[in-house]
Amino acid sequence: MSLDQELDEIAQLFIEESMEGLAIMETGLLNLDLGAADPETMNSIFRAAHSIKGGGATFGYTDISEFAHHVETLLDEMRQGERPVTREGVDLTLQSVDCIRDMINDLGKGDVDTTRAKELEAELTVMLQSDAAPLKPEGVSSKPSANNSESGDWEIYYKPAKNSLKSNSDPLRMLQQLKQLGDLVVCSEGADDLKFGEYDSEECQLAWHLTLTGEVGRDEIEEVFAWKTDECELKLTLLSSDIVDTPPSTADSTKQSTTEEAASTDVTETPKKPPVKSAAKSSGGQENSSIRVNIAKVDALINLVGELVITQSMLSRFNSDFQSDQLEALREGLTQLSRNTRELQESVMAIRMLPISFAFSRFPRLVRDTGNALGKNVELKLTGENTELDKTVLEKIGDPLVHLVRNSLDHGLEMPEAREAAGKPATGVLELNAYHEGGNIIIEVIDDGAGINKERVLQKAREQGLVGADEQLSDDRINNLIFMAGFSTVDEISDLSGRGVGMDVVRRNIADLGGNVSVHSETGKGSKFTIKLPLTLAILDGQLVRVGKESYIIPLVSIVETIQTTADQVNELAGATELFKLREEYLPVLRLHKIFSLQADSVNINDGLLVVAEANGQRIGILVDDLLEQQQIVIKSLEANYRQTPGISGATILGDGTVALILDVPGLLQLFMERQNSASTPIAAAA
Amino acid sequence: MTALNKQVEDIDPPIDGEAAGQYLTFMLAGEEYGVEILKVQEIKGWDTATPIPNTPEHVLGVLNLRGAVVPIIDLRKRFDLEKMVYGPTTVVIVVKMNHEDQERTVGLVVDAVADVYRLEGNDIQPAPEMGAAVKTEYIRGLATVENKMVILLEIDKLVDFNSMDSNGVHPAEKVAAGAESETALAQ
């Protein structure tokens, strides 16, 4: 076992490919119709398992390859039609997929836990033996057979194809692997008809007679050659166990001595030379994450760089001597440069973009398992799986999504009986939907369950003091109370179809990604959770606003609209809070200059502009002096050298080199509320 | 990086005469202060910083230092000294300070840069105890150079961003800031 060695790049590739293979298996298994499996699906599952097995063996991850072998055996019987596709079989295979995934993840840590694999292996063996009675007697073909019966000592004739060295297969490696199976005596054979002038050093001219002693199964030998069967001539002959004498080494064994292989004539004696592992000295960066990029994206990038170089050379003409009549050409060149830059930026970003199906792919399984556990029938609908978003966002959105889906399954969808009683089909529908809207990505989790019990939520919120006793809230405000911190700990409410386990965590995670989440629910009809996320974390679209002498950036994702205010639209509430009437809604007015203690141009509300922003399902009007341009900004952390500042989420550097601060609308809202509280009741603020 | 610095500190505890090395000194209200020269990243001219709302008065704001956003501290305000109009000699000394295993780049606004001295361990004496009213934690020691007193500063303890509740902070802001730093610590 070579698990202690550092992972080299190839092994990393194996891990990635295996992960993909496992994903294929999982998807395939979930799509299988019990009883009447689609042969194509079955084949793709089998192929994936086979590649994992082969890859595992090649890289010396014997634990994985052995375990995968058992899975493969089961799958092969199903594929061949020798075994019906049963629910138990599929479940067991799914568990095995999980187990292999865990084992592969463990590879990174260098220590593979095989206990689970052993358990499942036992289960697989039981299943294979119990109702086995395979319809066909035995795998007699050269395919890896399910049967281990053929074992003993072997005589093997191995002749690699002439071009096999070019395809990067190393016969020596094969011999070393065989040696691990038992005692190996090697006898090499050169090509007889080789003429000196015709010799091509890149061709493999050798063949070997091998004698392998020890109780070795045919399938074990075949496994070694699993990936090479089409590249070599292979003859296996079973010797009876008592014939152990070695074939005499032939005279021509040393004739062909130019290549390294000749040195390995006696592999049994030669200390193991590790040609495979020579590449393994790369630093053992375990969390070496990588992404697979569509070649078209890379090509587009290269084209753009080409254009950029052309533009640059065009502009550098002006560098040496510039006449004023060239101004127009210069301007044109600069326009082109800015276009190139923007396109380049977009395509570099596109490299980080991955389809959301990476995050969605786990849900068929999750919904199936959770549905089974809860005794609910659930149909999962996925739409917009090809919507692309930033890799970092993608990785971080997984957990909140799982939470929301679990929540919908657990508390949203009713039991089949209850559904039928309510006149709905017994099978509940859970829909995951992703699409682009403006510069954002929207992910929706929709269920057709019972919806949120508003009375109960409101009552709980009042009990907990989150909402004042007399406060009247809109339906959406009530629904969004479930995201409030402190609401999550209440267990009783989840029994009553009100939601609320850890929803504030969901909201916080999404807020960390610069997005927001809201819920819309109708009693008896279901709920819809909407997650709004920026496409990428590093760059955001921002609106520059001015207050006094200072400029701030409000993320466009938070802005609903911007309006010119008139005094008659503004009412003052109890002398403390100003309310602005926007159509049918009253919005509290947040005066940025007050919150930030700045000198504004004018404190008269008529002179300012009101930026209507939304955070946590609540809208607020932010009063600013002026709107400046909109632009894409690169986010710089303020915490790196300073600390978190309430109301500020970060900073950016503007075109003129100055720093502008990015407003954090939810934080600002919180700050505003605290100010309001402290203004009216100072004691409450202290408490 | 921080680990390296730590190592260096372990080998070379800066207390009791072991603070030998080169010091950059600067003027502040007629007194000469010194900071370890290895902590100094650069010296740049004064430039208007972007103010950060609701911060203590001595935090002037943030500046763009070749793409990094760096907070600027007015040392006169930090030491409660008399205000002075920024003039042509006013400079920003950009230093690297280690705080809670995190390296931060901070700009310090001072009246003028003075000199660079090489100090041996026995040139430096610890700051005298001056009672609880005068904080000495950010003073590494005192040195006498050419009959002048130079106050050597412990950069790492000069500014504690997390417990900033000095002047000019709104009470509500104080609560919020406290909560913020608590969550920051919890994380």
pLDDT digits (tens, 9 = 90+) for B33-64: 999 998 899 998 888 888 888 888 888 899 98
| Nearest CB to A651; choose among B69, B164, B181 | B69
**CATH top-level class of A539-686:** mainly beta
Q: Is B162 on the interface with A (CB under 8 A)?
A: yes
A596 contacts on B by Cβ (under 8 Å):
53-54
Look up the CATH architecture of domain A9-130.
Up-down Bundle (1.20)
Does residue B176 fall inside a structural domain? no
Q: Is the pLDDT of residue B93 over 90?
A: yes
Q: Structural domain tally of chain B?
A: 1
Highest mean pLDDT among A47-56, A159-168, A620-629, B117-126: A620-629
B161 contacts on A by Cβ (under 8 Å):
642-643
What does the block give as tokens for A223? Answer: 């496994």
Q: Specify the higher pLDDT residue, B86 or A498.
A: B86
Mean pLDDT, chain A, integer: 75
Query: At B83, is the secondary structure helix, strand, or coil?
Result: coil
B162 contacts on A by Cβ (under 8 Å):
643
Contact B69 A646 (CB under 8 A): no
Contact A640 B104 (CB under 8 A): yes
Does residue B183 fall inside a structural domain? no
Establish whether A72 is a catalytic residue. yes
Q: Is the pLDDT of residue A430 over 80?
A: yes
Least confidently predicted of A59-63, A447-451, A623-627: A59-63
- For residues A26 and A99, what is the distance between their CA atoms, to the nearest angstrom? 12
Domain limits for position B158: 2-162
* CATH at B149: 2.40.50.180
Q: Is B20 exposed, middle or buried (0-12, 13-18, 19+ CB in 10 A)?
A: middle
Tens digits of per-residue pLDDT, B63-74? 988 878 899 999
Quickly state the pLDDT bin for A416 (edges 50, 70, 90): confident
pTM of the prediction?
Answer: 0.50
A678 contacts on B by Cβ (under 8 Å):
171-172
A592 to chain B: nearest residue by CA? B53
- For residues A212 and A223, what is the distance between their CA atoms, to the nearest angstrom? 15
Contact B53 A645 (CB under 8 A): yes
Q: Is the pLDDT of residue A284 over 60?
A: no
| Nearest CB to B172; choose among A636, A651, A675 | A675
| Nearest CB to B161; choose among A643, A653, A675 | A643
Tokens 């390995």 -> residue: A264
Q: Is A666 on the interface with B (CB under 8 A)?
A: no
Establish whether A593 is a catalytic residue. no
Interface probe, candidates B50, B92, B97, B183, chain A, greatest A C-beta count within 10 A: B50
Q: What is the DSSP letter of A386?
A: T
What distances in angstroms separate CA A148 from CA A145, A178, A564, one per listed residue? Answer: 7, 17, 82
Contact B177 A659 (CB under 8 A): no
Interface probe, candidates A550, A594, A638, A642, chain B, greatest B C-beta count within 10 A: A642
For chain A, the domains span: 9-130, 151-273, 296-354, 356-534, 539-686
B34-53: string of b/e by CB count within 10 Å (b at 16+)? bbbeebbeebeebeebbbbb
- For residues A189 and B180, what is the distance between their CA atoms, to the nearest angstrom? 76
Least confidently predicted of A244-248, A582-586, A598-602: A244-248
Per cent of chain A over pLDDT 90 is: 3
Which numeric CATH code is attached to A151-273? 3.30.70
Which numeric CATH code is attached to A356-534? 3.30.565.10
- Residue A458: which H helix or E strand, with range? helix A454-463
Tens digits of per-residue pLDDT, A193-214? 666 666 677 777 777 777 777 7
Does A9-130 match A151-273 in CATH topology? no
A658 contacts on B by Cβ (under 8 Å):
50, 64
| Nearest CB to B64; choose among A644, A657, A675 | A657
| Nearest CB to B104; choose among A596, A641, A657 | A641
Contact B106 A671 (CB under 8 A): no
In chain B, residues 102-161 whose CB comes closer than 8 Å to chain A: 104-106, 161
Contact B52 A647 (CB under 8 A): no
Q: Is A89 exposed, middle or buried (0-12, 13-18, 19+ CB in 10 A)?
A: buried
Which ipTM value was assigned to this complex? 0.71
A640 to chain B: nearest residue by CA? B104
Annotated catalytic residue: which of A26, A69, A72, A516?
A72
Q: Is B63 on the interface with A (CB under 8 A)?
A: yes
Annotated catalytic residue: which of A121, A388, A407, A614?
A407
B50 contacts on A by Cβ (under 8 Å):
550, 651, 658-661
- For residues B17 and A344, what is the distance between their CA atoms, to the nearest angstrom? 56
Does residue B182 fall inside a structural domain? no
- For residues A675 and A620, what is the distance between their CA atoms, to the nearest angstrom? 15
pLDDT at A193: 64
Per cent of chain B over pLDDT 90 is: 16
Establish whether A463 is a catalytic residue. no
**Residue A476, C-beta contacts closer than 8 angstroms, at least 6 positions apart:** A518, A519, A520, A617
| Nearest CB to A674; choose among B52, B172, B180 | B172
Interface probe, candidates A590, A624, A641, chain B, greatest B C-beta count within 10 A: A641
